[in-house]
Structure 1
Amino acid sequence: MATPRSIPNTLTIAGSDPGGGAGIQADLKTFSALGSYGTSVITALTAQNTRGVTGVHPVPADFIATQLDTLLDDIAIDAVKVGMVASHPVAEAIREGLAGRRPRWVVLDPVMVAKSGDILVDDAGIAAVRDCLVPMADLITPNLPEAAVLLDRPVPKDRDGMQAMAPALRELSAGAVLLKGGQLRGKACPDLLITADAMTWLEGPRIDTGNLHGTGCTLSSAITARLALGDALPEAVAAAKAWLSRALEQSHRLDVGRGHGPVHHFHAWW
């Protein structure tokens, strides 16, 4: 574990985004911006930009296992973030790879639904995430469509619907749940943190920007970094949410692509 005199090591297990706004690239930027040393295991190569994805080349599960084993043989990881997992063999490889040398914190961002509403993984992929990875995570961070897919329920339309979904989400996970309410209409972006002891609403303004590419990846990796730095879970989530709001506010300073641009990960530094 990290001490106050050391820089913690964080790990992202996710796909690559050549545009740099999401996936591995966004996670590593976030880790660095928040003061941890970032490492990575790549699960897929993608061809994408700010306007969409044109191709995905999955990395074989056995090579994902080799990446993870080789990394953990050498580097002590304080916290890990797991992103999109599209198959049962990959989920099993990640679970088995982390089981023997599990970091103190495991954060799972169950990426299954695109912003367009399209389902990104098939039924087997959904089952793999739900059955293999959700139970081992200390925190899962689904948005409303992803939570609906996990529970095979309609997408909540309001705060009451989010709160009604909370007990079933907690039953899936041994850890906590951050249910993200960004898809709700209105001037606010309320998130609901669900732990064994309480349900806490985390309020935040809706930032008027089209630069939303990679916000889910960035939030989950920011929480991971804050946990690695020693924050308790509620404080880590609140700090990450506030940091992401500032990254969204400053995203206009970047000129990246002609679609949905990235957030400004280094807004505090540049």
Structure 2
Amino acid sequence: MILTFSGRQIGQMDINFFQHIKPLLNYWGLDWNENYHEIEPAMYGQCFVISGLEQRDLERVKEILKHTDVIIEEKASGMSTTASISVSFVADQPVPIIIQTENSKLLYITPAENTENAVQNMIHKSILCKRKANHYSFSFRWREKECIPEWISYLILQIGLSKTFSSLASLSIGEYQTGINHILRSINPMLADLQCEKETKKMQKPKIEPEFKVPDTFIAPQQLIPVRSRPATVTRNKNLHNGPAISPFKSVQTPESTINPFKQKNSKTSTAINPFQPNTYTTRRSKE
């Protein structure tokens, strides 16, 4: 089947597969028009007034949600307001997001990590807000400031469309990523990048060769310094109680001498043999 969005063709997809992943559309601020058989914005006529957010972050929220036809304002105008949101930042709070509405308890939210393996948790990073109110107070932890435009966008989708959400338990990660790349990316590349952030980081992760590192406990031989320590006490052998400490680095003093290869060896006096000396012994016959 041919897929169209606001009158323009965005791609083709098997009709059975599209019906299977169609529940993703509402989570992205989209809807399927059965009469015209096309994808269309799902938040037309909704307006949110956001105060306390820097202009740069406010513009980023608008970019993330521009395909939904929602109106984001900094100050209330003559339009009917779906809800007003006041944003504040806290240097240190127990969780990244705290939400409060009129006459309600605080709602503590910890967005899911990119390592989640369930589509239901990944699509809005486990950011849920089904409470309906005219005014919301969002408190964000300051050190996650870079993520705040994305989180506010998910909260606006939750507040405006949570009634249309259905379970995503039957969808695999691969089917979810196919929906992102073949539907959402052609409609809003910025939101598509945020949705497949896990896959993108994995693909762009540089290959780093393992580097040999000398252990911290390694000491070069020239750095070794003998340390005098108390002798170990062994209870089984009393002779070791008062023994001297053994130092493996103690050097043995040995006398040194220079070798002279021409030095004559002193020995006892010896008599030279003269082969021409006459025999002095008396034979037996001469004695007789």
**TM-score, L = length of structure 2:** 0.21
Structure in which a larger fraction of residues adopt helix: 1
Higher RCO by CA contacts (8 Å cutoff, separation 6 or greater): 1
Structure whose CA Rg is larger: 2
